[in-house]
């Protein structure tokens, strides 16, 4: 008996091909004609030598596998797909696709039926199997590409705590979270951002701890982003923050899984972006940017002491040069006589006023700091240290700047290194210059004016609806125990209230350590 197979009409096949060619992202269905489908993908990937088309016959039907070299596991493709399908055994003609799916020894295999899903599958490293006579294809989960191994975070070093850090692979990063938080309440939603890169952005949160409106707001902001590509988490941060003109960061970025998990357990959401080891945490407050995970790993006395030092040196880093300029320019009567005479003698041969002197040295110090970061590690630290010593000593001997100014700038630089987050440190370094200018023209009145303006600005900031100065501005007593000080862990029984409804209870009561009532 001769079976006559009806071929799809050329008019219909050309219609499919033309619609998909005009708009590949459109959900146009695949054609039953393998030649038309192959022709479309060939034209789409022309001049792309890394895209491989492997044509063969499975059963009595033509088939083509399309994949990108370097993104797919070619060894498994040969052993588990081609060897299986090129076997002489017959396939079930009544349900040909199901027969093939059952025959392939691949755990992750999906049916896809549109050109757009095929393009996404190929771009993500999953080969696509097209078979003649069917409007459906198979996406074969054989992704394999070179990736960096899990290492200790370079930007967030620690003395005590986990040594693992995120990598550029999104799958590795999500698995690190799953290894710490094993409850199925940990949810992960995927959004694609970027017209050409189609970068995966995973919204991670714990259901029952996070407010639903926060997740909806994050999704809405991500869906509004219309950009060619996303290369780093900084792209996402600049598009979704509440106040883009503020120098203060409104999201926290980190490459440590333990920091991410700690924020998830407090009811926050985390954005994990494919291609970068840095994740974004939202919402955040001004005080959370001065917290380090080591504060919670050490006993609360040490955590409170170090955190107090951070806020003290924050004031030093921000206001010390401007206070020196204001006092030496307008308020000499505030300085003791002996110290005033010493300052006057050291500034006797300096041709510039204090404001010019301070700005010059601050710019030189910032230049040396950036040079030390950008240069290779072998010479970066040497250039920054030697450069600071040589330039400072030469400037003093040449009479360009005074020795007290060198001391002031050095103390300011050391104080700025106390800030645990690089993003908030940048804001402090940038604000230092306008405060010096105000101090040079208005004295201590200018310094106080700058402080008032900064506090007013911080009071108006929001991070996804959460007050930036909370809990100080909102007077939440249960959150006050984790701001300037760090209370004992057994006292922090409730979570901070972020937005909307929340799960308040974090741990059981009466957890204070010590002997029981019987004294045992």
Looking at residue 8, its pLDDT comes to 40
Structure tokens at 110: 């999906």
Residue with tokens 């941060």: 237
Looking at residue 192, its pLDDT comes to 92
- Give the DSSP H or E segment for 17: helix 10-22
Looking at residue 5, its pLDDT comes to 36
Alpha helices in 164-299 (DSSP H): 170-180, 212-223, 233-240, 257-264, 294-297
Helix, strand counts (H, E) of the chain: 19, 12
Residue 287 and residue 270: Cα distance in Å, rounded?
18
Q: Is residue 499 within 8 Å of residue 508, measured between CB atoms?
A: no
Looking at residue 520, its pLDDT comes to 47
Looking at residue 391, its pLDDT comes to 74
Looking at residue 280, its pLDDT comes to 96
Domain ranges of the chain: 10-140, 170-284, 305-467
- Among residues 269, 276, 309, 315, which one has the least CA distance to residue 292? 309
DSSP E strands, 238-366: 252-254, 269-273, 279-282
* 2 DSSP 8-state letter: P
CB-based contacts of 348, cutoff 8 Å, min separation 6: none
Q: Is residue 123 within 8 Å of residue 217, measured between CB atoms?
A: no
* CB-count exposure of residue 423 (10 Å: 0-12, 13-18, 19+): middle
Residue 259 and residue 277: Cα distance in Å, rounded?
13
Q: What is the CA radius of gyration of the chain?
A: 31
Q: What is the mean pLDDT of each run of 10 residues along the chain (520 residues)?
A: 38 50 65 92 92 90 93 91 82 81 90 92 93 92 86 83 90 93 93 92 92 92 94 94 94 94 92 94 91 88 90 94 93 87 84 90 85 72 66 78 88 88 91 95 95 95 89 70 82 71 70 61
* 80 DSSP 8-state letter: I
Q: Is residue 53 within 8 Å of residue 128, measured between CB atoms?
A: no
Residue 142, Cβ neighbours under 10 Å: how many?
21
DSSP percent split of the chain into helix, strand, coil, nearest 5: 45, 15, 40
Residue with tokens 């840095």: 278
Looking at residue 22, its pLDDT comes to 52
Beta bridge partners of 58: 61
CB-based contacts of 459, cutoff 8 Å, min separation 6: 467, 468, 469, 473
CB-based contacts of 291, cutoff 8 Å, min separation 6: 307, 420, 482
Residue with tokens 């895209």: 51
- Among residues 106, 130, 107, which one has the least CA distance to residue 117? 130
Looking at residue 11, its pLDDT comes to 46
Structure tokens at 28: 């146009």
CB-based contacts of 257, cutoff 8 Å, min separation 6: 162, 164, 165, 166, 173, 176, 177, 180
Q: Concatenated DSSP letters for 35-59?
A: HHHHHHHHHHTTT-TTEEEEEEEET
Question: What are the Cα distances from residue 10, in Å, to 15, 17, 23, 137?
Answer: 8, 10, 20, 20
Residue 69 and residue 53: Cα distance in Å, rounded?
10
Residue with tokens 């007290």: 404
Residue with tokens 């506090």: 455
Omega cis (within 30) before 283: yes
The model's pTM: 0.84
Phi-psi region of 119 (alpha: psi -120 to 50; beta: other; left: phi over 0): alpha
Residue 241 and residue 243: Cα distance in Å, rounded?
6
Structure tokens at 232: 């780093």
Residue 511 and residue 297: Cα distance in Å, rounded?
17
Residue 263 and residue 441: Cα distance in Å, rounded?
43
Residue 143, Cβ neighbours under 10 Å: how many?
16
3-state SS, residue 306? helix
């Amino acid at each position: 008996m001769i079976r006559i197979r009806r071929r799809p009409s050329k008019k219909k096949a050309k219609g499919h091909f033309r619609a998909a060619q005009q708009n590949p992202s459109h959900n146009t269905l695949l054609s039953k004609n393998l030649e038309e489908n192959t022709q479309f993908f060939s034209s789409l990937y022309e001049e792309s030598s890394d895209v491989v088309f492997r044509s063969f016959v499975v059963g009595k039907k033509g088939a083509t596998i399309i994949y990108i070299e370097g993104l797919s596991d070619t060894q498994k493709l040969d052993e588990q797909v081609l060897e299986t399908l090129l076997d002489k055994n017959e396939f079930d003609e009544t349900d040909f696709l199901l027969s093939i799916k059952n025959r392939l020894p691949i755990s992750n295999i999906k049916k896809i039926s549109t050109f757009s899903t095929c393009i996404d599958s190929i771009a993500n490293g999953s080969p696509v199997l097209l078979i003649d006579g069917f409007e459906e294809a198979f996406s074969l989960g054989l992704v394999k590409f070179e990736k960096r191994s899990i290492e200790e975070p370079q930007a967030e070093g620690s003395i005590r705590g986990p040594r693992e850090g995120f990598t550029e692979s999104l799958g590795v990063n999500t698995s690190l979270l799953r290894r710490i938080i094993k409850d199925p309440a940990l949810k992960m939603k995927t959004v694609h951002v970027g017209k050409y890169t189609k970068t995966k952005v995973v919204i991670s949160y714990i259901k029952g701890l996070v407010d639903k409106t926060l997740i909806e707001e994050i999704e809405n902001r991500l869906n509004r982003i219309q950009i060619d590509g996303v290369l780093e988490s900084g792209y996402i941060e600049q598009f979704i923050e509440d106040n883009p003109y503020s120098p203060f960061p409104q999201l926290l970025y980190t490459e440590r899984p333990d920091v991410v998990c700690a924020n998830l357990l407090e009811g926050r959401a985390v954005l994990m972006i494919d291609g970068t080891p840095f994740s974004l945490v939202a919402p955040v407050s001004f005080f959370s940017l001065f917290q380090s995970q080591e504060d919670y790993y050490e006993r609360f006395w040490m955590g409170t002491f170090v955190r107090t030092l951070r806020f003290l040196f924050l004031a030093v880093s921000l206001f010390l040069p401007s206070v020196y300029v204001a006092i030496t320019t307008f308020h000499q009567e505030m300085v003791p006589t002996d110290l005033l005479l010493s300052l006057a003698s050291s500034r006797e041969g300096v041709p510039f006023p204090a404001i010019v002197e301070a700005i010059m040295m601050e710019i030189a110090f910032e230049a040396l700091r950036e040079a030390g970061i950008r240069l290779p590690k072998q010479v970066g630290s040497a250039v920054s240290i030697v450069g600071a010593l040589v330039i400072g000593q030469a400037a003093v001997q040449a009479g360009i700047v005074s020795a007290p100014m060198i001391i002031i700038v050095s103390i300011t630089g050391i104080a700025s290194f106390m800030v645990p987050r690089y993003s908030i440190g940048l804001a402090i370094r940038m604000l230092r210059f306008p405060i010096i200018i105000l101090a040079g023209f208005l004295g201590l009145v200018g310094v106080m004016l700058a402080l008032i303006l900064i506090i007013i600005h911080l009071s108006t900031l929001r991070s996804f609806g959460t007050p930036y100065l909370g809990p100080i501005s909102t007077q939440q007593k249960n959150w006050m125990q984790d701001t300037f000080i760090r209370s004992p862990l057994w006292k922090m029984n409730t979570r901070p209230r972020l937005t909307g409804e929340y799960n308040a209870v974090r741990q059981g009561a009466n957890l204070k350590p010590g002997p029981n009532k019987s004294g045992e």
